[in-house]
Amino acid sequence: MKVVLFCGGLGTRIREYSENIPKPMIPIGHQPILWHVMNYYSQFGHRDFILCLGYKASAVKEFFLNMKPELFEDCVVSRGGTNVELLSECNYDWRVTLIDTGVWRNIGQRLWFVRDKLKDEEIFLANYSDGLADIDLNAMIEEFKKSNKVGCFVAVRPPLTYHLADIADDGRVRDIRSVQASDIWINGGFFIFRREIFDYMREGEELVVEPFRRLLEADLLMAHKHSGFWRSMDTLRDRQALVDIVEQGNVPWQIDASHRAEQPQPDSEKQRVLSGQDA
């Protein structure tokens, strides 16, 4: 399946970092968060990506035009750097379509902008590109296929330490409890759509507002509840939490092999050289 990644926002809530680079290129460990998101989908065999660019689009293009696996993997270099042997499997056989969808467009407008790239897709995936999770994507897709729904999003618990208060008109507090203890779920930014989604969209609309409202009225929207790991990178504190996870070496979004799609082992040439010249 094709995967649409929304990479064009200004990243205002993490502006201290995104002043210099676009939010998807903010590093988590040695690689940008965009790389982690793409690697997550790649583990399940989905390696055909459409990147909806906007703010500092050239920085994202430069990353893929100059991408070398040996920058991210353990390797052996010989012959003065002309021969590079990777010491681990390289799965970067990605096809990456880079589309500049403008700086000021919202998520819905960006998806509408690339709809012609999805006209032959019965089902496609989409992601905000600023969050990571250990979702069993195969199970989510299978659940969606069995439904008659047009859209599906991952619902997660908000990872906040705030407390919710139920307050009467006279100021009396009737109840107070943590967000985690409540029955609140939020949109986690992982989506599955049938191509019919575009029948419920209008140019200029935000994806999760008017189009989702139409899907709700037609009973064509579903949520996949996920209680496992999920973290979005909205603030510098969020970024540091993700960096700490990577540095500790136990990375939840590197899914267990039993959940991944079966993929042929790459040959030695693919282990040394990034394929996907169509990018």
Q: How confident is the model at residue 149, as a pLDDT?
A: 98
Between CA 50 and CA 4 the distance in angstroms is 5
The model carries a pTM of 0.84
Whether 237 is in a domain gets the answer yes
- Total domains in the chain come to 1
Q: How confident is the model at residue 275, as a pLDDT?
A: 33
Whether 278 is in a domain gets the answer no
Whether 180 is in a domain gets the answer no
Give every residue of the chain whose pLDDT is below 70, as ranges: 11-19, 70, 72, 90-91, 160-161, 179-181, 257-279
Q: Which domain range does residue 63 map to?
A: 2-74+84-155+186-272
Q: How confident is the model at residue 173, as a pLDDT?
A: 87
Whether 172 is in a domain gets the answer no
Q: How confident is the model at residue 258, as a pLDDT?
A: 53
Nearest to 55 by CA among 17, 28, 92, 29: 17
Whether 168 is in a domain gets the answer no
Which CATH number characterizes residue 255's domain?
3.90.550.10
Nearest to 191 by CA among 214, 159, 162, 223: 223
- pLDDT one-digit tens code per residue, 206-249: 999 999 999 999 999 999 999 999 999 988 889 999 999 999 98
Q: How confident is the model at residue 48, as a pLDDT?
A: 97
Q: How confident is the model at residue 273, as a pLDDT?
A: 34
Percent of the residues in the chain that have a pLDDT greater than 70, as a whole number: 84
Whether 235 is in a domain gets the answer yes
Whether 160 is in a domain gets the answer no
Cα dihedral 249, 254, 258, 260, rounded to 10, equals -160
Backbone angles phi, psi at 222, to 5 degrees: -130, 160
Q: How confident is the model at residue 161, as a pLDDT?
A: 67
- Going by their DSSP bridges, the two strands 31-32 and 27-28 should be labelled as antiparallel
Q: How confident is the model at residue 175, as a pLDDT?
A: 86
Write out the two tokens for 68: 């070398």
Whether 137 is in a domain gets the answer yes
